[in-house]
Chains A and B, each alone.
Chain A
Amino acid sequence: AQTVTQSQPEMSVQEAETVTLSCTYDTSESDYYLFWYKQPPSRQMILVIRQEAYKQQNATENRFSVNFQKAAKSFSLKISDSQLGDAAMYFCAYRSREAGGTSYGKLTFGQGTILTVHP
């Protein structure tokens, strides 16, 4: 079974600075997706960024980028030029795409990291 671990329950950053959130995962599969989701106090789940396992290039979305290390099974999120609106709970998630496998399509989340942004 796949597992996702976020070892940082809480992180904080000064406005305009950069912060990195860590995520590791465990899988025996080779075809999968990784995601970062943001959950603000409104509790709505918002997709921040997505990485395909077969792509070596790290995904980037504006101020958000990832450092995907497939061999190390590591998937960290870097937020540059942090803004007050970035304050939220961030979840790392894994989704299986191993066709024919029993976990095909299954999406597993980490425990989450609460990010505080100080003005």
Chain B
Amino acid sequence: DAGVIQSPRHEVTEMGQEVTLRCKPISGHDYLFWYRQTMMRGLELLIYFNNNVPIDDSGMPEDRFSAKMPNASFSTLKIQPSEPRDSAVYFCASSSLDTSTNEKLFFGSGTQLSVL
């Protein structure tokens, strides 16, 4: 398996533009997480899905952020309109609660977002 795949790896955009981050989880995993990492706030959970259904989106900063998981193999995180304070590394991660995987959370390589 190729692991969790995120794209793009880097994104530079201007304030006000729409940004879409993409994630392909590991096949068979039923949990998908979106995290944001900044120097000031560390690693924050934005939203997580179980079996494609959003379970907890309390970490989503505001209405400018939205996330979807239309099927088990794809998720998007969209920011519209983007602002400079959204600049961060965004991680996607997937896992199952199957003890055969030791509950391991697999992370993607992250998307470095810069909003100018």
Q: Which residues of A pack against B, CB within 8 Å?
A: 33, 35, 43-45, 47, 50, 91, 93, 95, 97, 102-112
Contacts and interface: CB of A to CB of B under 8 A. Distances in A.
Contact of B45 (A45, A47, A109, A112): A109
Q: Which 7 A-B pairs have the closest CB atoms?
A: A45-B107, A111-B42, A109-B43, A105-B31, A33-B103, A112-B42, A43-B110
Interface residues of B, number: 22
Contacts of A44: 107, 109
10 contacts: A33-B103, A45-B91, A45-B107, A95-B105, A106-B45, A106-B55, A107-B48, A109-B35, A109-B43, A111-B42
B97 interface: yes
Contacts, number: 55
B100 interface: no
Most buried by B among A33, A43, A102: A43
A109 B42 contact: yes
A50 B103 contact: yes
B102 interface: yes
Interface in B67-96: 89, 91, 93, 95
